[in-house]
């Protein structure tokens, strides 16, 4: 039987795989709907799926047993992660290009580990520090070769939004960790995703998204449906990683999405696989191994 930390690590890696696919789908939808509308729609449908799952399998009891303090922390964590973090990241990919935006934003595990050490008493061990540096260094090698300038690049806007995304994600994970002592990952996300959707729908950028969907090509609706399911699955795996493997390990492993995005880009976008990307994948895998020592 696998150890709890190993299961958490596998869940965090699973969230990275699904996030890589999510990134491709979001980019294909942003031109039609905009980043905030895509975020609101995927959170709404994904949240509805998780709420239905919890009610159908366990009834209302998991929701009724949550304390007010835990609910407040879950709400703060999702506002920071999705309403601020994800939206800023998607905007940074438009201003800076996917590769450069990922390079800047994937520094968030370092901030999360430092915050967890300061406020959650999670130790920063030599293996954790070495594994983190190896993993993030490998990811930089993966992303850098194809971090070409985006058409009409707005450099400082892109760097600023990517940095804000990294900070928001780091703060979000620290808010999330404490309530998970008593709440299962699926229940936590069944609360967090609808809250994220509600905060996004009140913004002016999401208005008119539902009406616009009726005028879209069926392929847009199909991609949005797939994105929503992936969002639900990915978010539950990430929360499971935080619960069972800890903030530092889960954030580092979940940030390995670029390693999985490269082969997807080769297969579906015709990207060429560079030597730097292969070397980066090897270094990243070494970092993942060290994290489990």
C-beta separation of 26 from 86 below 8 A? no
pLDDT (tens digit per residue) in 62-89: 999 999 999 999 999 988 987 788 788 8
pLDDT (tens digit per residue) in 161-206: 888 998 999 999 999 998 888 899 999 999 999 998 888 888 777 7
Nearest to 99 by CA among 145, 130, 132: 145
- Which tokens go with 99? 């590769």
C-beta separation of 38 from 26 below 8 A? yes
Confidence of residue 24 (pLDDT cuts 50, 70, 90): confident
- Per-residue pLDDT, 211: 66
At residue 223, the 3 state secondary structure works out as helix
C-beta separation of 227 from 21 below 8 A? no
C-beta separation of 183 from 70 below 8 A? yes
**Structural domain spans, the chain:** 4-291
pLDDT (tens digit per residue) in 104-159: 777 788 888 888 888 888 888 888 788 888 877 877 777 665 555 555 667 778 88
- Per-residue pLDDT, 93: 77
pTM: 0.80
Nearest to 175 by CA among 96, 100, 84: 84
pLDDT (tens digit per residue) in 206-228: 776 666 666 667 777 888 888 99
- Average pLDDT across the chain, whole number: 81
């Amino acid at each position: 039987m696998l150890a709890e930390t190993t299961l958490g690590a596998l869940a965090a890696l699973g969230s990275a795989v699904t996030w890589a696919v999510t990134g491709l789908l979001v980019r294909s939808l942003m031109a039609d709907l905009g980043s905030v509308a895509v975020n609101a729609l995927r959170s709404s449908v994904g949240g509805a799926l998780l709420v239905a799952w919890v009610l159908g399998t366990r009834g209302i009891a998991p929701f009724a047993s949550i304390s007010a303090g835990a609910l407040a922390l879950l709400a703060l964590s999702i506002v920071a992660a999705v309403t601020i973090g994800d939206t800023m990241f998607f905007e940074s990919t438009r201003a800076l290009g996917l590769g450069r935006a990922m390079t800047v934003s994937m520094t968030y595990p370092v901030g999360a580990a430092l915050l967890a050490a300061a406020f959650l008493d999670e130790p920063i061990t030599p293996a954790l520090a070495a594994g983190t540096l190896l993993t993030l260094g490998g990811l930089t090698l993966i992303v850098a070769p194809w971090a070409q300038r985006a058409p009409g690049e707005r450099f400082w806007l892109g760097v600023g939004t990517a940095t804000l995304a990294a900070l928001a994600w780091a703060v979000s994970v620290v808010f999330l960790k404490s309530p998970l002592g008593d709440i299962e990952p699926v229940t936590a996300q069944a609360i967090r995703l609808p809250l994220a959707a509600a905060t996004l729908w009140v913004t002016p950028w999401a208005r008119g998204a539902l009406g616009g969907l009726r005028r879209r090509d069926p392929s847009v609706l199909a991609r949005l449906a797939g994105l929503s399911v992936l969002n639900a699955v990915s978010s539950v795996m990430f929360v499971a990683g935080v619960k069972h493997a800890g903030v530092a390990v889960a954030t580092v492993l979940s940030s390995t999405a670029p390693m999985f995005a490269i082969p997807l880009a080769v297969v579906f976008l015709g990207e060429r696989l560079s030597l730097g990307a292969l070397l980066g994948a090897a270094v990243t895998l070494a970092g993942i191994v060290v994290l489990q020592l």
